[in-house]
Amino acid sequence: MDTKSIMIVGVGGQGSLLASRIIGHVLLMQGYEVKVSEVHGMSQRGGSVVTYVKYGDKVYSPVVEKGEADLIVSFEQLEAARSLPYLKKGGTIITSTQKLDPMPVITGATKYPEDIFNQFRDLGINFIPVNALQLAEEAGSAKASNVVLMGVVSTKMDIDKEEWLKAIEECVPAKFLELNKKAFELGRECY
């Protein structure tokens, strides 16, 4: 199989590390070679965070570059817009509808672009908006929006649901397991 590339983007503190761990796990269980690459540090203080997941029979570079991502999972609208250049022709963006103002917007130096999804539509981008925050709150905690998005991702990949649940069990602490399973189900059901 050719190498596939997934990019997970969001804002520091939104839980993209857990999302990449779950995806990495489930892909490893399928027998692929997997590489997951993230940058820790400055970006965690509320800055943009990017994680790359690559898998296939053989993976060399751990990073995903412009025009290479088969799938982009975004935790926030503006970050989805920022990541668009990384999308491969014909690739898909799954994005939370959540909006978080970055500091230049808060200070009034610039404006949050209003019509990101319309622009995606006009460009003919395959994208799936998900009200992940609301579904996560329904599952019991706003923090579980990452796992809601994993639920949506699972419907776009040819991997059994049971395998995903196993990966979630391995990656999530026992006391949050039920909540996260519910978040995952809600994500699966919404598409």
Partner 1 sequence: MKKLMLGNEAFARGLYEAGCKVVSSYPGTPSTEITEEVAKYEEVYAEWAPNEKVAMEVAIGASMAGARSFCGMKHVGLNVAADPLYTASYTGVNGGLVIAVADDPGMHSSQNEQDSRHHAAASKVPMLEPSDSQEVKDFVKEAYRISEEYDTPVIVRMSTRVAHSQSVVDVCEREDIPLKEYVKNPQKNVMMPANARGRHVFVEERTKKLIQEAETSILNKIEMNDGQIGVITSGTTYLYAKEALGDSVSYLKLGIVNPLPSYIIRSFCKKFETVYVIEELDDIIETQCKKLGCDVIGKELFGFIGELSQSIIKEKIKGVSTEYTALQTEIPVRPPVMCAGCPHRGVFYSLAKNKITVSGDIGCYTLGAAQPLCAMDTTVCMGASISGLHGFNKARPEKEKTSVAVIGDSTFMHSGMTGLVNIAYNSTNSTVIILDNSITGMTGHQQNPTTGYNLKGDVAAKVDLEALCRALGIERVRVVDPYNLAETEKAILEELAVEAPSVIISRRPCALLKYVKHNPPLKTNEKCKSCKACLKLGCPAISIKGGKACIDHTLCVGCGICKELCKFDAIE
Nearer to partner 1, 37 or 155 (CB): 37
Burial of residue 64 (CB within 10 Å: 0-12, 13-18, 19+) is buried
> Least distance (Å) from partner 1 to the CB of residue 136?
11
Distance CA 164, CA 35 (A): 18
Decide: 102 and 78 in contact? Cβ < 8 Å.
yes
Interface residues for partner 1 in 43-62 (CB under 8 A)? 43-48, 59-62
> Least distance (Å) from partner 1 to the CB of residue 7?
12
Of 167, 168, 133, 160, the residue nearest 148 (C-alpha): 133
Exactly one of 63, 121, 160, 161 binds partner 1 (CB under 8 A); that residue is: 63
Distance CA 88, CA 149 (A): 20
Q: Which stretch binds partner 1 (CB under 8 A): 42-50, 144-152, 157-165, 178-186?
A: 42-50
Distance CA 132, CA 5 (A): 22
> What residue ranges bind partner 1 (CB under 8 A)?
11-12, 24-25, 28, 33-48, 59-63, 65-68, 78-79, 81-82, 84-87, 89, 101-113, 116, 119, 123, 125, 142
